Amino acid sequence: MGANHEVDGEIIIRFRTSLERCLARSEFLDRFYDRFMSSSDEVKEMFAKTDFSKQHRILRGSLYLMSRAAMGLEDGREHLMAVAKTHGADRLAIPPHHYDFWLEALIETAREMERDFDSELEAAWREVLGLAVRIVRQHD
Ligand code: HEM
């Protein structure tokens, strides 16, 4: 599958290794949702009735599938297309700039968790997640 990688394999490995270290910390997803919801009252309201233990499981799966999409794998792309549908105009109707809040909140939370979150590691997170966000936004 290497030839079909949307993102360089080394970069995906760098992202995945860092992601797994972050997910191994029990506070990572809580910190992310706190930060994401404090980026705007609109975002906060959308999660007013959310069961966060379920939402944490969902996000774990999504992040993993985002790295699969970056590898050019079908299950990853399909997941993002499904997210685009549920988050699109006739369902959750997420405005495009909320995806910027989502991405920045995730990057800042990773920075907080990782001892060596240097510019190279940040670029790896941005490349993998940026691709995923572009796919979701393009298919809503
Ligand atoms: C690319 C980034 C994102 C991914 C991969 C993602 C993924 C998901 C998934 C898999 C679900 C479960 C339902 C479904 O299958 O659609 C979900 C639910 C949800 N997402 Fe997202 N999401 C993203 C960005 C956002 C953004 C920017 C918002 C803005 C507020 C948002 C708000 C929500 C809400 C409100 C729910 C329902 C929560 C509930 O059940 O109470 N998501 N998301």
Angle value at C-alpha 33, between 10 and 23, nearest 5 degrees: 40
Write the pLDDT tens digit of every residue in 95-116: 999 999 999 999 999 999 999 9
The pLDDT, as a whole number, for residue 3 is 45
The pick from 33, 35, 39, 58 for probing ligand 1's pocket by mutation, whose C-beta has the most ligand atoms within 8 angstroms, reads 58
Q: Is 94 close to ligand 1, i.e. is its CB under 6 Å away? A: yes
* CATH number of residue 115's parent domain: 1.10.490.10
How many domains is the chain partitioned into structurally?
1
Q: How far apart are CA 56 and CA 50, in angstroms?
A: 10
Cα Rg, the chain, nearest whole Å = 15
pTM of the predicted model as reported, rounded to 2 decimal places = 0.96
Is the pLDDT reported for residue 131 higher than 70?
A: yes
Q: What integer pLDDT is reported at residue 124 of this predicted model?
A: 98
Which domain range does residue 25 map to? 2-138
pLDDT single digits (tens) 33-86:
999 999 999 999 999 999 999 999 999 999 999 999 999 999 999 999 999 999
DSSP 139: T
> Which among 85, 125, 91, 82 is positioned nearest to 105, based on CA atoms?
125
